Structure 1
Amino acid sequence: MTKPKRRTTKAKCRTTKPKRHRTALLLAASAAVLGGLVPPATATAAPATGTAALDWRPCAEGGGGGRGLDARQECATVEVPVDHADPGGARTTIAVSRIPAEKPSARRGVLLLAPGGPGGSGLDNPSGKGQRLPQEIRDRYDLIGIDPRGMGRSAPVDCGFDPADLGTSKQRPWPAADGSVTATMETARRMSAACARHGGDLIRHISTANNARDLDLVRAALGERKLSVWAVSYGTYATAVYAQLFPHRTDRVVLDSVDDPDPERVGRGWLAAHERGVEAAFPEFAAWASAPGTADRLAGTPAGVRALVLGLAARLDRAPIPWPGANPAELNGDVLRQSVLTALYDPDDFPRLAELIRAAREGRTPPAPPSPPAAVLRNSVTVGAGTLCNDIAWPRSAAVYAKGVAASRAAFPLTAGMPRNAMLCAAWPYRPQEAPVRITDDGPSNVLLVQNERDPATPLAGARRMREALGDRARMVVVDATGHDSYLDNGNACGDRTVSRFLATGERPAGDTYCG
């Protein structure tokens, strides 16, 4: 199969001077949604540094240990309150890992490799993505991994979801083929009820703000005055919240593939952003899949590829193809749409998507894709749900989602209304315990954003809103590339050099930069 070409050489940087300003976020929190909630804690609540040394041990087998793990990686746990408003109450544990700096004489501190998600594990990041970092960065920092509260090795929570609710196309709320949200709302009620029965007390306290407070206790347990962070996707929002609550505990902060910090919508806005993100990234797939030299060519023009995908999805809505071993056990229109979205995260996956489209057009299916173990998947979906639903209250009315779905389907047919549909948060049994943290320009100027132009998951528009919220605390590098995860993955050489230089030396561009 022909792999898509990657633009990673001869990249040029163009710089513009930043505007110096103090920025409030674009939208104020709605009193109807947030009235009466506890305000978020401020930086004055930072715990003291210099707690007892951690008990570092070899990482356990499975989830932070096992084959492929760097022999230097070691693991420990940090106790944190279940409820940070009650620090003397019940406790839970946060699993952390590290690979020490490779040149102790050059050591600067620690670099947290913050995971995405929500519902992502980061415990193995020092052995994985951390080893892609340039040597001069690995020389200077202990590489730190973490499983956020409730995730992986951090006292995992599990709502006991039905297997049918864990399928690839079920983890995002695709409406019915006719746009109805009735089945989605029923699923939301069923899954939320499962969390009320099985989630335990911890699930009520899984939130981005609590993840940030946990992180500051981890920082203290590490014996560090400050943290440097390389955060990706959801991790960019969680890290921005940390930098807002504990601004003077941050050293060098990289936000890679950046979430919109809008405090009125939070995760609901991230979901909605997929409609524009897919439309921005899909032309790259369509151009590749219609190029004469592509072995997996699907049509003669990009417009032909788009028409093929839309028509095939509609056909699969009417007549799904049985798909033994997959979840769901059929290739239907939503599975195809979800496969398109997933493949746009990484252009290396374009050939796999083309193979699926070609098979479906011929009335067959490829081998079923692999899936994580059921317990791992349930844990990930549970933590993701807890975070999204506890961060902010979602509308309860089906009519709100039906209206949004109809508008989205008309304007963005590739995503068929999914980005504005109801997640299980529409029936969540708990109310948020505090308002979302508002990201502002109060704090040190030590943040670098790196963002692909054509990112299906965290589109450029949302990254620009984070940039505006941070004001002169930040600089931003926009990269002429397609896909999610820019730095050392789906970006280009210019963007990678800019980020590496900042982490190694602290040098940022004088202004916002374009890497073309």
Structure 2
Amino acid sequence: MHRKKALSLVIVTSAVAATTLVGCRPSVSDTAEATADTLRWGSCKDSEKKSGDTGESKTRKKSGKDPASRLECATLEVPLDYQDPDGRKIDIAVSRLTSENPSKRRGALLVNPGGPGVGGLGYPAALAAGGLPQDVQDSYDLIGFDPRGVGRSTPVTCDLTPEQLKHRPVYAKTAADVTKEADHARDVARQCAGSKTSWMLPQVSTANTARDMDRIRAALDESKISYFGGSYGTSLGSIFTTLFPGKSDRIVLDSNLGPKGYDFTAARMFGRGMEDRFPDFAKYAAAHPGYGLGGTQEQVKRKFYELAERLDKKPAQGYDGARFRADTFGMLYLDSNMPLVAKTWQALDTGRPLSPPVPDPENATASRYHVTCNDSRWPRSIGAYQRNTAVDREKYPMVGGSTSNIGPCAFWPQERTEPQVQIGDRGPSNVLMVQNERDPGSPLSGAKKLRKAFGKRAVLVTADQGGHGVYPTTANTCANDAVTTYLTTGKRPAKDLACPAEQPSGQPGAQPAA
């Protein structure tokens, strides 16, 4: 799989973030018309620097134009609490890359690169520079935004220290490891609750971000808006089209979480995702013996366990066993990262110099905690995590002992203001889901659950390939063409579609999904 650098950065940022982690009645604001506030568009100068956004590309299109130079930005004021729409307000930073072919423009396409905790102001430019078909660019104004709590939107903080930002969940080999991890988790939750932005804490959620999206739609003076989102962005899109079915046009969800988003079950499923994905890397490393990681897939897998155990006992070059497992998992989101994974392993194995790992930005980590902990109820008992890690290190031994370990959500203040939004089959049949079969961050099993929840509203296209993210620049033309066709013509596959692996010669075919 080949990705442009700009889009790769977005996905890897989301990947590293992921390794650190009753029905809902619509409120009045979910059914009433949003206020059409005016957006005053201006320069996006310094937006990437200010927002920490990794989506903006410096890559130029073949025409020589730089999409980032055409990007415009604006600020939209929205309610902090949609149950109190006339109360305190916060800012949402919005960006726009307009269609350069007005005769073909059919509307606005809101885009989100994933997360949570990832800025999206530069994502329209990243997509345009990174392979988004020209027909799609002509058909829409591409609209990006920093979600509430992130970047140039009103940001949150947990006052995390450099040491806390470097932390990765310990691989729990015993119950005592979970108890020890709980100390870190409790401290982080306490800091978030006591920070200078604690007034925002209960309102930074996926449901409220979806409501912000409807405010963006109204401010754009669009009666409906289309949407493309990947990874966590699939949860955001699912909730948006559930709360606002009449305001959602063509909805594309790429690399899908289950219907409950990033809850504690999804966190545990990262272990399953690693087991699904690792054979792709083992095959690559075994085919490149120069790395010295093993000549067979089984030998490469043994090397993984050997290095993890070694680093558990004696960290080296900024890596302990927890970071080694987490970074390997995160980098395997992209096929293009496989040489980097192999070189990292080689350096850790031989002692060759390796650049030290870079901590996540504080705001990205803090906002990720806010969203994941506010969206759903997490187990409060340390014993529950001790049982989960015991099960998962047997079922998913590569990373299951860490991805199911306890985190700040176990100690999060109980201030959620509404039940979790339930995804269902009420609404227009306008959702296209696209999914790799061997996705480490959002395993196929979660996509199937979301597909079932949507019922008649959705069609699922699967691609026989690994990695996180399908559209627009992976090798599978069958899956990519399905998305492009839907966005430009409104035509989806008649039923769920299984796209075979890309063949070295000739065009790949497609088969109905079993």
TM-score, normalising length from structure 2?
0.86
Work out the CA distance in 1 between the residues paired with 2:271 and 2:343.
24
**2:109 is the counterpart of 1:125:** no
SS at match of 2:95: strand
Q: Is 1:222 matched with 2:209? A: no
Ranges in structure 2 where 5+ consecutive residues have no aligned partner: 4-21, 59-66, 501-514
TM-score normalised to structure 1 length: 0.86
Among 249, 255, 258, the alignment partner of 2:256 is 258
Amino acid at match of 2:214: D
The alpha-carbon deviation at position 175 of structure 1 amounts to 3.6
Alpha-carbon distance in structure 1 between the residues aligned to 2:92 and 2:260: 28
User: Given that residues 296 and 351 in structure 1 are in contact (C-alpha distance below 8 angstroms), is that contact kept between their aligned partners in structure 2?
Assistant: no
Q: Write out per-residue CA displacement over residues 459-502 of structure 1, whole angstroms, 9 at most, x where no aligned residue.
A: 00000011111111111110011100111244512111111111
User: Is residue 148 from structure 1 mapped to residue 147 from structure 2 by the alignment?
Assistant: yes
Distance 1:489 1:124 in 2: 18
CA distance in 2, matches of 1:491, 1:117: 24
Task: Give the direction of change, closer, same or farther, for the CA distance of 1:332–1:52 in structure 2 (3 Å limit).
Answer: closer
Give 3-state SS (helix, strand or coil) of 2:384's partner. helix
Question: Match for residue 402 of structure 1?
Answer: 386
Question: How many Å apart are 1:183 and its aligned residue?
Answer: 2.1
What letter is aligned with 1:187? H
Q: Which residue of 1 aligns with 2:163?
A: 164
Distance in 2 between the 1:337 and 1:408 partners?
Answer: 15
Query: What letter corresponds to residue 236 of structure 2 in structure 1?
Result: A
Q: Name 1:417's counterpart in structure 2.
A: 401
Query: What corresponds to 1:89 in structure 2?
Result: 87
Q: How does 1:36-75 map to 2 (within 5 A)?
A: 39-41=24-26, 45-48=30-33, 51-61=36-46, 62-63=49-50, 68=58, 70-75=68-73
2:350 is aligned to 362
Partner of 1:22: none
2:461 alignment counterpart: 477
Is 1:281 matched with 2:281?
no
Decide whether the 8 Å contact of 1:82 with 1:91 is kept in 2: yes
Q: Which residue of 1 aligns with 2:478?
A: 494
| Kept in 2: contact 1:290–1:300 (CA 8 A) | yes
1:345 aligns with 2:333: yes
Counterpart in the other structure of 2:268: 272
Instruction: Tell me the secondary structure at the aligned position of residue 219 of structure 1.
Output: helix
The Cα of 1:360 is off from its aligned counterpart by 1.7
Counterparts of 1:238 and 1:500 in 2: how far apart (Å)? 21
Retained in 1: the 8 A contact 2:263–2:378?
no
Change (3 A) 1:225 1:134: same
Aligned mates of 1:386, 1:308 — CA distance in 2: 36
Equivalent pair of 1:203/1:386 in contact (CA under 8 Å): yes
Instruction: Say if 2:333 and 2:467, in contact at 8 Å, map to a contact too.
Output: yes
Q: Which residue of 2 aligns with 1:17?
A: none
Q: Contact 1:209–1:238 at 8 Å: present in 2 too?
A: yes
Residue 241 of structure 1 pairs with residue 226 of structure 2:
no
Residue in 2 that maps onto 1:206: 204
Q: Secondary structure at the match of 1:254?
A: strand
Give the whole-Å Cα distance in 1 for the aligned partners of 2:150 and 2:353: 33
> Matches of 2:174 and 2:286 in 1, distance apart?
30
Amino acid of the structure 1 residue aligned with 2:327: S
| Alignment-derived partner of residue 321 in structure 2 | 333
**Aligned with residue 317 of structure 1, among 312, 330, 340:** 312
Task: State the alpha-carbon separation in 2 of the partners of residues 75 and 6 from structure 1.
Answer: 30
CA RMSD across the alignment: 2.1
Unmatched runs of 5 consecutive residues or more in structure 1: 8-28, 324-329
Alignment of 1:300-315 (within 5 A): 300-315=295-310
| CA apart distance, 1:393 | 1.9
2:39 maps to a residue whose letter is L
SS at match of 1:112: strand
Shift of the 6–79 alpha-carbon distance from structure 1 to 2, 3 Å rule, reads closer
Shift of 1:296: 3.1
Tell me if structure 2 keeps the 8 A contact 1:455–1:483. yes
TM-aligned CA distance change 1:371 to 1:335, over 3 Å: closer
Q: Distance in 2 between matches of 1:363 and 1:99?
A: 46
Counterpart position of 1:193:
190
**How far apart are the structure 1 equivalents of 2:28 and 2:272?**
35
Aligned-partner Cα distance in 2 for 1:223–1:462: 35
Distance in 2, matches of 1:357 and 1:489, equals 27
1:452 corresponds to 2:468: no
Separation of aligned partners in 2, 1:491 and 1:221? 37
8 Å Cα contact 2:132/2:473 also seen in 1 = no
How many residue pairs match? The answer is 466
Distance 1:349 1:205 in 2: 36
Match of 1:10 in 2: none
Question: In structure 1, how many angstroms separate the alpha carbons of the residues matched to 2:174 and 2:314?
Answer: 14
The structural deviation recorded for 1:458 is 0.1
- 2:369–2:409 contact (8 Å) kept in structure 1: yes
* AA of the residue aligned to 1:415: V
> Which structure would you say has the larger RCO, counting Cα contacts within 8 Å and 6 or more residues apart?
1
Q: 2:2 & 2:147 partners in 1: Cα distance?
A: 33
Q: Is the CA contact (8 Å cut-off) linking 1:393 and 1:431 kept in structure 2? A: no
What CA deviation, in whole Å up to 9, does each residue of 1:29-81 have, x standing for no partner?
A: 4xxxx9xxxx4425873342672431111114133699946111111111111
CA distance in 2, matches of 1:302, 1:284: 9
Decide whether the 8 Å contact of 1:401 with 1:421 is kept in 2: yes
